[in-house]
């Protein structure tokens, strides 16, 4: 069935309960490749709570992208085989806690019709609140439903993307993706077989399973953490990207960064395929 527009805009859920512990925090960090060098103490702070000298476990800011996995406004009839991540924008109202009991409010912010053969964009918002009712993060996600265009909705109206500088990047970071990275990352919530089942991936038009877009999102957070944030998660105020092409496990992602005051712009490429996989990236630091 086509997307029911404009009724879809009324979908929402409120105060859905979620929780997590340090186990989920560390599993997420491992899922985006942190800890690959078991002697790197700066990265061990995100995956190890058992130091000889006590120190607090740190939470990767983009853990927010999975902390209330499954929080959605309600069911939308889509061709799930053809759905991929489009954009992610997280605003941090306070640092992510190591463990928490929280609630999530979810709503549809907008639905855009790119045409019958061009797909649809669904934009959702999730607000995560702590046990006192204070906001922890606001998560805005856009999904690209490649098989669901032509439902008669608006084609324009999405916010303009962040523009990265045209000068040469100030720094670049290369991150190699383990061949089994998607199989680890999926344990943080996204069990879509597009990332684990070769036959399903072929049905979706890919030669083999692709890396989760949100894992690539985490890689860009890693790049900012290790360059301009000095491994301090509390420095993050916002982290947003637009996904432009898939990453395959086993590839190397090169992330170019530009610093302008507290704004860090970035783009990510897989140079072996000459493919830009993340565009219009921006982190705001305190």
Q: Token match 């964009």: residue? A: 121
From 66, 59, 133, select the one nearest 98 (Cα to Cα).
59
SS3 content of the chain, % helix, strand, coil (to 5): 20, 35, 45
Residue 155 Rama label (left phi>0; alpha psi -120 to 50; beta): alpha
User: Using the 8-state DSSP alphabet, how is residue 33 labeled?
Assistant: T
The one catalytic residue in 85, 105, 113, 190 is 190
What are the structure tokens assigned to 190, written together?
A: 């996204």
- Sheet harboring 135-145: ordered strands across? 12-20, 100-113, 120-129, 135-145, 83-92, 236-243, 275-285, 263-270, 252-260, 171-176
Evaluate whether 148 touches 120 at the Cβ level (below 8 Å): yes
Cα 69 to Cα 24, 129, 235, 255, 264, distances in angstroms: 11, 14, 24, 26, 27
The one catalytic residue in 85, 89, 113, 195 is 195
Q: Are strands 171-176 and 83-92 parallel, antiparallel or unpaired?
A: unpaired
Residue 231 Rama label (left phi>0; alpha psi -120 to 50; beta): left
Please indicate whether residue 37 is annotated as part of the active site. no
Please indicate whether residue 85 is annotated as part of the active site. no
What are the structure tokens assigned to 220, written together?
A: 């860009």
| Residues forming the active site | 190, 195
């Amino acid at each position: 069935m086509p997307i029911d527009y404009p009724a879809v805009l009324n979908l929402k859920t409120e105060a859905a309960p979620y929780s997590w512990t340090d186990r989920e925090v560390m599993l997420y960090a491992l899922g985006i490749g942190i800890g690959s060098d078991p002697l790197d103490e700066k990265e061990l702070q995100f995956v190890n709570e058992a130091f000889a000298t006590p120190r607090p476990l740190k939470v990767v800011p983009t853990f927010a992208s999975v902390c209330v996995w499954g929080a959605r406004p309600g069911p939308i009839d889509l061709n799930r085989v053809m759905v991929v991540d489009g954009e992610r924008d997280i605003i941090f109202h306070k640092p992510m806690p190591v463990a928490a009991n929280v609630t999530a409010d979810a709503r549809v912010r907008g639905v855009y019709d790119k045409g019958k053969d061009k797909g649809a964009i669904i934009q959702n918002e999730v607000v995560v609140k702590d046990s006192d009712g204070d906001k922890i993060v606001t998560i805005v996600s856009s999904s690209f439903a490649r098989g669901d265009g032509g439902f008669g909705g608006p084609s324009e109206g999405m916010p303009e993307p962040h523009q990265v500088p045209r000068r040469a990047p100030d720094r670049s970071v290369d991150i190699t993706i383990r061949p089994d990275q998607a199989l680890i990352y999926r344990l943080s919530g996204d069990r879509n077989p597009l990332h684990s089942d070769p036959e399903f991936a072929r049905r979706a038009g890919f030669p083999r399973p692709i890396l989760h877009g949100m894992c690539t999102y985490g890689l860009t957070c890693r790049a900012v953490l290790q360059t301009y944030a000095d491994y301090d998660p509390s420095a993050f105020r916002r982290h947003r990207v637009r996904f432009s092409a898939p990453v395959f496990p086993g590839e190397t992602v090169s992330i170019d960064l530009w610093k302008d005051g507290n704004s860090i712009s970035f783009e990510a490429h897989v140079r072996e395929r000459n493919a830009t996989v993340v565009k219009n990236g921006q982190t705001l630091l305190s």
